[in-house]
Chain A
Amino acid sequence: MIVRIENVTKEYPLGEQTVCALRNVNLNVEDGVFLAIAGPSGSGKSTLLNLMGCIDSPTRGRVIINGKDVSDKDPDALASLRARSIGFIFQTFNLFPVLSAEENVEYPLLQFKELTASQRRQRVQHYLGVVGLSEFARHRPNQLSGGQRQRVAIARALVVHPKIILADEPTANLDHKTGGGILRLMRKINRRTGATFVFSTHDRRVIDMADRRVDLEDGEIVRLGVRRGKEWAYAMERVNDSDADNEEDDA
């Protein structure tokens, strides 16, 4: 089990009110899965992803990454954990505009003091090759297309050999064709390397490619699905009005 979420509640203040983004969520993420977290806007997808990524902390409950409870770790320990165990892919790519593609990919490796410069360069070249951007290594982000930028971001996430890669709406800023290519690439990497991918998404295609799905609504998990061939087998399903709406949407 690479991630365990135990009875996690996340509340945050909004003006004078307290908003509950997640309510008593329990979730296990197995090693090597391609998991899609789906749900309408405001359902808590990104909050759940942020908790898994140790960039946010739960109000109550425990988040266990790779067997270690991270709920009470200090910010520096969480930063170290993120550096070595978690890869991030963002909707807006979040590349450093002043660095070239290869420098962007190399950036997280600079914290790995045990790697020499040539070892870093080798790894960077390898992952730029994996995402098919070897010939664009010296290009800056503004010289790359949206799809190419997202490929650089994928290489950057992979280069640290993370336990888990978290992708927050990775196709939302890409056109249909490019988004499809990016998803196929990530799926290929998942199958080839066994890297765990967790997506928060609205994109139907992500859910179609996923082998696990979590449906969130109003901060609660309403469905946990496991792919069986082309169908979903639901380990847990709460039926209510909005589920019915979702089914209509899926159809």
Chain B
Amino acid sequence: MLTLALRNVFRHRVRTTITLAAIVFGVVGLILSGGFVQDIFLQLGEAIIHSQSGHLQVAKTGFQAEGTRKPDLYLMQNPERLKARIAALPGVTEVMARVSFSGLLNNGRSDVAIIGEGIEPEPEAQLGTYMKIVAGRRLAANDLNGIMLGQGVAQALKLRPGDPATLVMSTTTGATNTLDVEVAGVFQTFSKDYDAHAIRVPLAAAHEAMDNQGVNTIVVSLAQTHDTHDIATLLRAQLANEGLEVWTWEELNDFYDKTVKLYDQQFGVLRLIVLAMVLLSVANSVNMSVFERVAEFGTMRALGNRSRTVFLLVTIETVFLGVIGASIGVIVGMVLAFAISAIGIPMPPPPHADLGYTARIQLVPSVIFGAFVVGVIATTFAGMFAALRVSKIPVVHALRQAI
């Protein structure tokens, strides 16, 4: 029966080609659209990691929930030992400390409320590959009075690299302190809101202004993003009894999860639409081919085959079609994905962002497998429907169709 089914598949080459084209088109569509969505997830994730969060952050318990309002209550003193312990873990590339503060930035004429971070310039430069420097330069280790401004802050205060400014903030004891700074550079991240309030100064300058040597977070950068959860689990086990908590970049940015869920749902709907399109176009061509062969099925049954044999034959034929079409679709989809990725798709900035990006098509095994399965299932369903109908035709009626 398998031989008969396979030969029947290639009996009408033009029709088989048209049917295969419909399956290939659907599978390619799913691979490209799925790969595009996966690229959005990947690029958004990497943008979050490499412009703000790092892969992991270690902080005193409660800091992530309450610390933004009172960061000075969650300071870790002498973080060097902790940093060294974390740096010794496999897969960790950079470990850096940050201290958070809030205050005002003054250009001599007006103030803007800011959310500031004291950072270690060198490891942050390694981590911050998605932070675009739109003017000036990054902070350097010896920039004791340097400051980097988010693009929104720079625009609000009309500050450019080389301009002086005054940072007004509180010390940990509640006294007001000022820090005279010089704009080293202006940065832009994927988040317009962040850029409207963020400034960065060297950790040493922040310590001096806050009159405290503590840090709020230890930011961890990993060689591979997919190691995040494993290393987080390891760290959590090590730090559980030390009053510290470990947050992954996904936990720190819940909008990422929401974005993934939103796009996943949209992609799910798209997958259903493609499934329906493949199903309808394949059903049409399978129906035509099956109903032209009604007399043949009548002959099979006259020769002693049961109706379920006819059903099985047609179903096997369509499974063959589905597997062949979906396999070709996977190959074509992968080739196209490579080609499109090599060229890149220039994308405008997403909502609430200033930075456009170059989209690519990610080849994700689950997406490719899903597209293959959708292609095979849609074709099989289309074939089963025709098979069911044709196997129910009485033998006498079927034989009358012979020409």
Q: How far is the CB of A183 from chain B (nearest CB, A)?
A: 20
Q: Is B69 an interface residue (CB 8 A)?
A: no
A80, A90, A160: the one contacting B402 at CB < 8 Å is A90
Contact A98 B395 (CB under 8 A): no
Nearest residue (CB) in B for A94 is B299
A94-B296, A98-B11, A99-B7 known; A88 and B303 CB under 8 Å?
Answer: yes
Chain B residues with a Cβ closer than 8 Å to the other chain, count: 22
- How many residues belonging to A are interface residues under a CB distance threshold of 8 Å? 26
Determine if B295 and A88 form an interchain contact, defined as CB atoms under 8 angstroms apart: no
| Interface flag for A132 (CB, 8 Å) | no
Does B42 count as interface, using CB distance less than 8 angstroms? no
Determine the distance from Cα of A97 to Cα of B293 in the docked complex, in whole angstroms: 11
B306 interface residue per 8 A CB criterion = yes
Closest to A95 in B: B299
Q: Cβ of A97 and Cβ of B306 under 8 Å apart?
A: no
- Given the complex, which residues of A lie within 8 Å of B299, measured CB to CB? 88, 90, 94, 96
| B11 and A92 within 8 A (CB) | no
Tell whether, in the assembled complex, residue B304 and residue A83 are in contact, meaning their CB atoms are under 8 Å apart: yes
A 67-108 to B, binary, CB cutoff 8 A, 1 in contact else 0: 000000001100110111000101110101111000000011
Partner of A79, one of B8, B295, B301, B394: B301
Set A76, A84, A107: member contacting B306, Cβ < 8 A? A76
Given contacts A83-B304, A111-B304, A98 and B8 within 8 Å (CB-CB): yes
Find chain A residues with CB under 8 A from B295 CB: 92, 94
Given contacts A50-B396, A55-B395, A98-B4, contact A92 B403 (CB under 8 A): yes
Q: Give the CA-CA distance A76 to B307 in the complex, in Å.
A: 8
Q: How far is the CA of A126 from the CA of B7 in the complex (A)?
A: 26
**Is B323's beta carbon under 8 Å from chain A?**
no
Q: Is the CB of A94 within 8 A of B402?
A: yes
A14 to chain B, nearest CB (A): 13
Please report the C-alpha to C-alpha distance between residue A180 and residue B302 in the assembled complex, in whole angstroms. Answer: 26
Measured between beta carbons, the chain B residues less than 8 angstroms from A50 are: 396
- Cα of A84 to Cα of B305 in the assembled complex, Å: 11
Known contacts A76-B306, A96-B296, A55 near B301 by CB under 8 Å:
yes
B32 at the interface (CB under 8 A from A): no
User: Which single residue of chain A is at the shortest CB-CB distance from B7?
Assistant: A98
Q: Name the residue on A nearest B306 (C-beta).
A: A79
Q: How far is the CA of A206 from the CA of B394 in the complex (A)?
A: 29
Contact indicator A99/B303 (Cβ below 8 Å): no
B399 at the interface (CB under 8 A from A): yes
- Contact yes or no, B304 A55, CB < 8 A: no
A56–B306 CB distance below 8 A: no
Q: Is the CB of A83 within 8 A of B396?
A: no
Closest CB in chain A relative to B129 CB, distance in Å: 60
If A83-B304, A84-B304 touch, does A56 touch B296 (CB 8 Å cutoff)? Answer: no
A53 at the interface (CB under 8 A from B): yes
On chain A, the residues within 8 Å of B1 by CB distance are 110
- Cβ contact within 8 Å between A82 and B304: yes
Complex formed: what's the CA distance from A98 to B296 in Å? 11
Q: Which of B304, B396, B402 has the most CB of A within 10 A?
A: B304
In the complex, residue of chain B having the shortest beta-carbon distance to the beta carbon of A12: B396
Contact flags (1/0) for A138-166 with B, using CB distance below 8 Å? 00000000000000000010001000000
Cβ A75 vs Cβ B303 within 8 A: no
Q: How far is the CA of A96 from the CA of B301 in the complex (A)?
A: 13
| Contact A88-B302, Cβ < 8 Å, known A94-B296, A98-B7 | yes
Complex CA gap A14/B399 in Å reads: 18
Q: How many whole Å from A12's CB to the nearest CB in chain B?
A: 9
Whether B303 and A83, one on each chain, are in contact in the complex, defined by CB atoms closer than 8 angstroms, is yes
Residue among A56, A76, A107 making CB contact with B303, cutoff 8 Å: A107
Which of B1-53 touch A at CB < 8 Å?
Answer: 1, 4, 7-8, 11
Given contacts A55-B395, A55-B399, A92-B402, contact A108 B303 (CB under 8 A): yes
Mark interface residues in A194-207 (1 if CB within 8 Å of B CB, else 0): 00000000000000
Instruction: Say which residue of A53, A97, A99 sits within 8 Å of B302 (CB atoms).
Output: A53
Q: What is the bound-complex CA distance between A79 and B402, given in angstroms?
A: 20
Question: Would A99 and B4 count as touching, CB distance under 8 A?
Answer: yes
Q: Contact: A90 with B304, CB < 8 Å?
A: no
Chain A residues closer than 8 Å to B399, beta-carbon distance: 55, 90, 94
User: B293-315 vs A: 1/0 string, CB under 8 Å?
Assistant: 00110110111111100000000
How distant is the Cα of A156 from the Cα of B303 in the complex, in angstroms?
Answer: 9
A90 to B296, CA, bound (A): 12
List CB contacts (< 8 Å) of A228-250 with chain B: none
Given contacts A96-B4, A97-B11, contact A79 B396 (CB under 8 A): no
Question: Are A75 and B402 in touch, CB under 8 angstroms?
Answer: no
Q: Nearest 10 A-B pairs (CB), nearest first? A: A83-B304, A98-B7, A92-B402, A55-B395, A94-B299, A108-B303, A82-B304, A79-B306, A56-B396, A88-B302
B residues contacting A by CB (< 8 A) are 1, 4, 7-8, 11, 295-296, 298-299, 301-307, 394-396, 399, 402-403
Q: Can you give 30 A-B contacts (C-beta < 8 A)?
A: A53-B302, A55-B399, A56-B394, A76-B306, A79-B301, A79-B304, A79-B306, A82-B301, A83-B304, A83-B305, A88-B299, A88-B302, A90-B399, A90-B402, A92-B295, A92-B403, A94-B295, A94-B296, A94-B302, A94-B402, A96-B4, A96-B296, A96-B299, A98-B7, A98-B8, A99-B4, A99-B7, A108-B303, A108-B304, A160-B304
Given A56-B395, A111-B305, output 19 extra A-B contacts at Cβ < 8 Å.
A50-B396, A79-B304, A83-B303, A88-B299, A90-B399, A94-B295, A94-B299, A94-B302, A94-B402, A96-B4, A96-B296, A98-B7, A98-B8, A99-B4, A99-B7, A107-B303, A108-B303, A110-B1, A160-B304
